[in-house]
Amino acid sequence: MPTMGALHEGHTSLIKRADEECDTVVLSILVNPTQFSNEIDLATYPRTLEKDALIAQKAGVDVIFAPTAEDLYEGKPAAEEISWGYLTSEFEARHRHGHFDGVVAVVERLFETVMPQKSYFGEKDLQQVAVIRRLVSERGHSTEVISCELLRHQEGLALSSRNTRLSEAGRMTALKLFKALLEAKKQITSGAHRKETLVQHKAMLSSVSEIALEYISGVNELTFNPQELPDNWTHIVVAADVDGVRLIDNIRL
């Protein structure tokens, strides 16, 4: 199970599932430099290895693999450019240039090093799950990719290591993203026009001065085609900057 540490209950839900399904659970912790397109985000990403070790052990991890980037990459961390259509050009890929190049680079190194029979990824990073599935089929890795449900705080905020950088006011603002997803889903499932519903929620979120909206859109979880027919949407995805913290969330339709 690859992570960047600063473990929270979203991570431990994956660990617990892996513990139920596997004899040995290996958790990797590395703040992977090649997947960051923003130096400040990389520098301020929380690093809490000792605390993580306690949480991991309690949740059922047998082995923690926490290499330095230089060791894992056997030299200077670098990633080749990946071109897998919309998966690596739209949504997260468009807004975080080179992000999936870095994700593919690190996960491939981890697959080669740990050789897991099963690997666990959270649907919090929905597009990442699609990219990893593509990585496995494209390069013939023999691991079963298991995607796990997105976990939220009680009030609805998606659990994320970056939430620790939000102020109390920022958390309240961030909740508006979840509420927009929830409301849009409610309208769509009660028959509202899918595209128009999203246009309205986009306008609403764009009007909130504390939110720098990147996108809110319907997607198909397999294609991430921005022109996907609304009838084929499986999720609504959203990304925005709140309080200088980049947040992503999604909801299944």
Rounded to a whole number of angstroms, the minimum distance from the CB of residue 49 to ligand AMP is: 13
- Residue 124 interacting with ligand AMP (CB under 6 A): yes
- Residue 33 interacting with ligand AMP (CB under 6 A): no
Rounded to a whole number of angstroms, the minimum distance from the CB of residue 158 to ligand AMP is: 5
- Only one of the segments 10-18, 61-69, 203-211, 222-230 lies at the binding site for ligand AMP (rule: CB under 6 A); that segment is 10-18
**Whose Cβ is closer to ligand AMP: residue 66's or residue 159's?**
159
User: Cα separation of 253 and 236, whole Å?
Assistant: 7
153 tagged catalytic = no
**Whose Cβ is closer to ligand AMP: residue 147's or residue 173's?**
147
User: Cα separation of 38 and 21, whole Å?
Assistant: 36
- Residue 158 interacting with ligand AMP (CB under 6 A): yes
- Residue 49 interacting with ligand AMP (CB under 6 A): no
Pairing outcome for strands 235-242 and 26-29: unpaired
- Residue 11 interacting with ligand AMP (CB under 6 A): yes
Closest C-alpha to 224, from 125, 155, 138: 125
- The interface mask with ligand AMP, positions 131-150, x = CB under 6 A, is -----------------x-x
Q: What are the backbone angles phi and psi of residue 235, rounded to the nearest 5°?
A: -145, 160
- One of 10, 77, 102, 116 touching ligand AMP (CB under 6 A): 10
Q: Name residues contacting ligand AMP, limited to 69-88 (CB under 6 A).
A: none
**Whose Cβ is closer to ligand AMP: residue 88's or residue 161's?**
161
- One of 30, 110, 135, 151 touching ligand AMP (CB under 6 A): 151
Cβ atoms of 182 and 176 within 8 Å: the answer is no
Rounded to a whole number of angstroms, the minimum distance from the CB of residue 13 to ligand AMP is: 6
| Catalytic residue annotation | 11
